Chains A and B, each alone.
Chain A
Amino acid sequence: GQNIDQPTEMTATEGAIVQINCTYQTSGFNGLFWYQQHAGEAPTFLSYNVLDGLEEKGRFSSFLSRSKGYSYLLLKELQMKDSASYLCAVPRGSGGYNKLIFGAGTRLAVHP
């Protein structure tokens, strides 16, 4: 099966750095996605990691350790607009099909 765990809520201050963790258990690993979802809106793609290590994209970086079943999303220089839910997701099982299983999401509140 595939269990995905993320913290439910986090708070941070504008300008700070925050790390959102995600742990997963999967019978066959095919990469890990991070999506951002603002309240009342659709999820939007942030990153995809399939190899170990850190991938940086501007203020957002995503890290993956396949041996530990662990990923994190790092948000730097936080802005108010970063207040949103952050969902990690893994493709289900193996077989080449992109059926994503989503975590429950981490609701991030950025305060002035």
Chain B
Amino acid sequence: DARVTQTPRHKVTEMGQEVTMRCQPILGHNTVFWYRQTMMQGLELLAYFRNRAPLDDSGMPKDRFSAEMPDATLATLKIQPSEPRDSAVYFCASAASSGEGETQYFGPGTRLLVL
């Protein structure tokens, strides 16, 4: 049963600390997305990769957020330094391709609370 996995599932940290979230896309999927979901803003795209190359990170605050794909089986989203307004659920999703009709499969999310 192929699934997107994310770690950690929950993270509580203090303002100013570094937070690293990890995602393992479905094997064989070449497109990976990072989303953030809050009650106020809903589900927002932060960044996405195709074949490990970043295609768009315009939704991401550049000064503190960074996203990488060290290899085809791992995507990371890092926040440094973290702020209380970063508290949200962060979802990773993967797709078999970057085509317009391609279904995205979401991981279970990382629930982040910054105090």
Residues of A within 8 A of B (CB): 30-31, 33, 41-45, 48, 50, 87, 91-92, 96-105
Q: How many residues of B contact A (CB 8 A)?
A: 25
B42-A31 in contact (CB<8A): no
Q: Which residue of B lies closest to A103 (CB)?
A: B42
- B100 close to A98 (CB less than 8 A): yes
| Neighbouring A residues of B95 by C-beta, 8 Å | 98
> Binding site of A, secondary structure by majority: helix, strand, loop or mixed?
loop
Number of A-B contacts (CB under 8 A): 57
Q: A43-B91, A48-B101, A87-B43 are in contact. Are A99 and B56 (CB under 8 A)?
A: yes
Within the complex, which residue of A43, A87, A97 is in contact with B100, where a contact is CB–CB below 8 Å?
A97
In the complex, the chain B residue whose C-beta lies closest to that of A102 is B43
| CB atoms of A104 and B42 under 8 A apart | yes
Question: Is B66's CB within 8 Å of the partner chain A?
Answer: no
Whether, in the assembled complex, B98 has its beta carbon less than 8 Å from a beta carbon of chain A, the answer is yes
